Amino acid sequence: MNSSILAAIFLLSLLSFAVESRKLDHKDNKSSTNGTRWAVLIAGSNGYRNYRHQADVCHAYQVLKSRGLKDENIIVFMYDDIAFHKENPRPGTIINKPNGADVYHGVPKDYTGENVTAGNFLAVILGNKTALTGGSGKVVNGGPNDHIFIFYSGHGAPGFIGMPSSGVLYAKDLIDVLQKKYEAKAYEKMVIYVDSCESGSMFEGLLPKTWNIYVMTASKASEDSWATYCPHQHPSPPAEYDICLGDLFSVSWLEDSEQHDLQKETLEQQYQVVRKRTRFSDKSAGSHVMRYGNVMGIQNDSVSTYFGPNPRNFVFTTQTSFSLPSEIKVLYQRDADVNYLQHKFNKAHKGSNEKTKAQKQLNEEISKRQREDFNIQQISTILFGFKNGQNIVQYVRHVGQPLVDNWGCFKMLMGVYEEHCGSLSTYRKKYARAMTNMCNSGINKEKMIMTLAQVCKPN
């Protein structure tokens, strides 16, 4: 055998060894990490009507805690006005599914009440203690080998997600902070789950694949998300509850996490479970679960890489013997308020003060929505004419494009609108897309102010 053949065999052997070594390394990396696991959990709302968002976040804490994450590495944002609310039929407890266990016990109260702000959230991600305004002071002190998991549950709209104490968090501001985190080499990989309406708009056309961030959202950039475990649905909360207990996307990944060995389940496998349940739970509803960022580079990581390595060493236990239901009833997130008020009205005794009060609240909510619809229609018609105005309200850009070119203009128009027409309600947030389209069409501040002064006149 000549020397050239021997050399070729030797090179092939080296190549085969390298490939196998990479496979072994990949297998090990899927279920273990040399750095620290961090988790940041945010409930982006307050008020008893929004019970489900804090329930989602408390449940997420219990899942991560049971998987071995330490409290010092789990940072929780929640207004904390639900567990002991006067309407809570079980004071001091929060449940996330019908007949579910209490998920409130033991949850760290890092940032509560007025400290649940976009500014504090961004400071926590960056590890910037000097930028905090209240709270426990815990931040993500990430290093280059660390793995970070971020979960948000709340209300959203095209281009932003809600915060109970600081208005909203705009997509561009979040992306800018993620870029700083990446450039500081303060993590190895990051996974983000977002449950809100239009949650895809927070990342569509904005998040590069090179930052080693994997994102899963409850819906497309132009799509609503859904609440579940609501009154008069199946399965429904116990009779004494007037509210939805969870959000479909959130309970899907949480309940999936409770039933699997997460050292064996990959992010891709969890996505497939959540995608099917979120899209097809109700034949008349559901949303498309989306992914952004470095999907191909991270999807084969085990879920335990981010959630923790102890799949069976539960501190918190739930009933996990049942299979995930393939079909459950859901409710449009922005209709959860009306559903709550309607349920209270239906439940109150005829002729009682409670009945009268519930009827008044329901009528006020419906009237407010009608007024908000009318205002947006009038503004769009004045600026663009009737037909073009309707297009401005509804137009959705092509997949892969961010929804607005000038984020400064978008923020400006949103601010001017709120100044003249009042703060954005949960229902009205859907019209943020009209503002982005106005910016993309070249509407300036002066023209918008003149139009708003015409439409949103003081009472």
Residues marked active site are found at 155, 197
Number of other CB atoms surrounding residue 23 within 10 Å:
10
Task: Say which residues have a Cβ less than 8 Å from residue 152's Cβ, sequence separation at least 6.
Answer: 42, 44, 161, 192, 193, 194, 195, 196
For residue 210, the tally of other CB atoms under 10 A from its CB is 10
Q: Which helix (H) or strand (E) holds 6?
A: helix 3-31
The sign one gets for the Cα dihedral 257, 178, 217, 156 is: positive
Strand runs (DSSP E) across 318-390, as ranges? 330-332
Q: What sign for the dihedral angle of Cα 7, 10, 16, 17?
A: negative
Q: Which long-range contacts (CB under 8 A, 24 or more apart) does 449-455 make?
A: 449/416, 449/420, 451/379, 451/382, 451/383, 452/379, 452/416, 452/417, 452/420, 452/421, 453/420, 454/378, 454/382, 455/375, 455/378, 455/379, 455/382, 455/421
Please return the burial class of 374, using the count of CB atoms within 10 Å of its CB with bins 0-12, 13-18 and 19+. exposed
Which residue, among 396, 362, 389, has the nearest Cα to 201 in the 3D structure? 396
Query: Identity (one letter) of the amino acid at 111?
Result: Y
Distance in angstroms (rounded) separating the CA atoms of residues 171 and 401: 13
Dihedral sign (CA 246, 249, 251, 254): negative
Rounded-to-integer distance, Cα 334 and Cα 426, Å:
6
Q: Are strands 226-228 and 156-157 parallel, antiparallel or unpaired?
A: unpaired
Place of tokens 């309707």: 390
In the chain, the N- to C-terminal Cα span, in Å, equals 97
* CA distances from residue 146 to 178, 191, 232, 246, 294 in whole angstroms, order as listed: 15, 12, 44, 30, 17
With tokens 């709270």, the residue in question is: 135
Cβ atoms of 28 and 297 within 8 Å: the answer is: no
111 within 8 A of 166, measured Cβ to Cβ: no
- Tokens 């000038």: give the residue: 406
